[in-house]
Structure 1
Amino acid sequence: MNREVAEAYWKENISLILKLLVIWFIVSYGFGIIFLDELNAITFGGFKLGFWFAQQGAIYVFVVLVFVYAKKMEALEKKYDIHE
């Protein structure tokens, strides 16, 4: 792999990581702490939505983000012809 291809690969990789970290931050910190009072006005499964995000939702979103990252990285590795 030449230098330009490697730089393009890492640029896309870091971009993906930053996007997923922003989503994780918004869900865990934003929904679980900052917007807690607003979200508690809504109920989900018998629980206040803010409480649900703080206790369960952030974990579920994190697990989904792990799978999204794995799938996106698989596509990125195929794009740049990188094999393990």
Structure 2
Amino acid sequence: MAKEFSQTNLMKTPDKTTAQRYWKENLTYLAILLVIWFLVSYGAGILFADALNNFRLGGFKLGFWFAQQGSIYVFVLLIFVYIFLMNRLDRKYGYDE
């Protein structure tokens, strides 16, 4: 027995300009999040480590903490931020399920 699909169940195919706007906004999110990740991992862990080592977090120098753990925490946080942003973007352009 074949299932019948109603018109509301079929997702409309977006036009080319909508897909381009979606992709451009997606790349903007990616660029911003990657810059944040770079600044935290490379900047705070290596470039600015000496300046950050004047402060302490949990008994460790802040530059050392960013190099060892902080950049990992920020990376995981950025994953969740990206998920949130992409879900919102999908709803905005009609790609959500």
TM range (shorter): over 0.9
The runs of 5 or more residues in structure 2 that have no matched partner are 1-13
Runs of 4 or more above 4 Å deviation: none
Task: Select the structure that is richer in helix.
Answer: 1
**1:55 corresponds to:** 68
Matches of 1:24 and 1:83, distance apart in 2: 27
Secondary structure, aligned partner of 1:41: coil
TM-score (norm 1): 0.98
The runs of 5 or more residues in structure 1 that have no matched partner are none
Instruction: Provide the aligned C-alpha RMSD in A.
Output: 0.7
Q: State percent identity of aligned pairs.
A: 58
Alignment size in residue pairs:
84
Structure number with higher relative contact order (C-alpha < 8 Å, ≥ 6 residues apart) = 1
Matches of 1:83 and 1:43, distance apart in 2: 44
2:32 to 8, 19, 41: 19
The one-letter code of the counterpart of 2:44 is F
Q: Which has the larger radius of gyration?
A: 2
TM-score (norm 2): 0.85
